[in-house]
Structure 1
């Protein structure tokens, strides 16, 4: 079949062979695949190599075709002829590229506008996005994270797929803006029913133990200040209260959420 592809600053017409389609792990849609052969002068080989290398799946910048964008799923080349420069023959396998940048995310009946978004496959579908809100929706989102953070929800990625995917919360960072709103970098994971469960977290359980100790020390300082203000001196009862408050204890979900706060959300990417 005739095939158009924008390469080396020009639209090139070549013959291509249709290959069996593949099912997208992101959307469940069938993605076209083609193979083609492209000949260029050897003095343009390096330039073409850079352009093709920048379009390699899954994270490359797609090549523009006629009505379709393409990622490179396979590539090899060889030199032919004895002239100077030689002719370089490139054999490419291309796969149809998808738009995987959601414009909004729905978690159950909660609608969230998205300012940045990325998703990838790491054994399961993982979605990371940034949202900002100072409205009732933000309060509802915080309650979902705190009260129901271990549950799975129907998640729709508007602009990617209208088919709900069952996902749960992963990392949930937040940053307070100058206006008092909250910017959040949320990660959702579609691993419901996965037999092996989630992989162990880095530096655990040490990190969790450290977090518990910090919260306990903070609470102890609060109690100490209150006692000093009300009594003027530390009585035995007050000392016992400080020691009791400083003892490590299992954190509530609400207490743990304070350690997901950052002063610069952009450092963590999408």
Structure 2
């Protein structure tokens, strides 16, 4: 058992936390810490806490701030208000460390390059297959041209061209 300092309901709270098996980051492969927490909240503030937890459960955030980084609330928290003091809601939840972006967006560049290579190889194979089918008489000229036209890239939109230009400038 350890403690985590996490900002909830507008204040930094020191919460007892039980460490859970870590998950692995899909971006870096490093372990992301996970903890189980229990929080006692007055009934009049439970809706405010629900809204914070709901927002912190999304992948984009806003995640909960803590002294050791940011935390995402994992889906499936529970709330009970039984026992001696029904005016107190007891929340049980799991949080997972959020990996802060410390590297440029081009970190997945090798994966993107391999995906592009695969797409180009498949395109070449399909083009050769079309030529072969046309040469064997399976596809007539009109159908062959229609398939080739369907595989032609559409022009870039203004937004795409602007983003590609911006990304190009940033990578040099």
Shared topology, TM-score over 0.5? yes
Contact 1:20 1:32 in 2 (8 A): yes
Q: Which runs of 5+ in 1 are unaligned?
A: 106-155, 158-163, 170-188, 198-243
Shift of 1:19: 0.8
String of CA shifts for 1:160-201, please: whole Å, max 9, x gaps.
Answer: xxxx743348xxxxxxxxxxxxxxxxxxx59x7xxxx9xxxx
**SS of alignment partner, residue 46 of structure 1:** helix
How has the CA–CA distance of structure 1 residues 92 and 252 changed in structure 2, closer, same or farther, with 3 Å as cutoff? closer
Partner of 1:166: 111
Shift of 1:24: 1.4
**Would you say 1:262 and 2:160 are equivalent positions?**
no
Separation in 1, partners of 2:4, 2:146: 67
Please give the root-mean-square deviation of Cα atoms over the aligned residues, in Å: 3.4
Map of 1:62-141 to 2, 5 A cutoff?
A: 62-74=63-75, 75-81=77-83, 86-100=87-101, 103-105=104-106
**The structure with more helix, counted as a fraction of residues:** 2
Q: Which runs of 5+ in 2 are unaligned?
A: 123-141, 162-172
Shift of 1:98: 1.2
TM normalised by structure 2 equals: 0.64
**Would you say 1:11 and 2:12 are equivalent positions?**
yes
Partner of 2:62: 61
Separation in 1, partners of 2:105, 2:80: 45
Q: Relative contact order, CA 8 A, sep 6+: which one is greater?
A: 2
Separation in 2, partners of 1:40, 1:80: 13
Separation in 2, partners of 1:250, 1:261: 19
Aligned length: 135
TM normalised by structure 1 equals: 0.43
Partner of 1:118: none
Separation in 1, partners of 2:97, 2:16: 17
Partner of 1:51: 52
Separation in 1, partners of 2:111, 2:160: 26
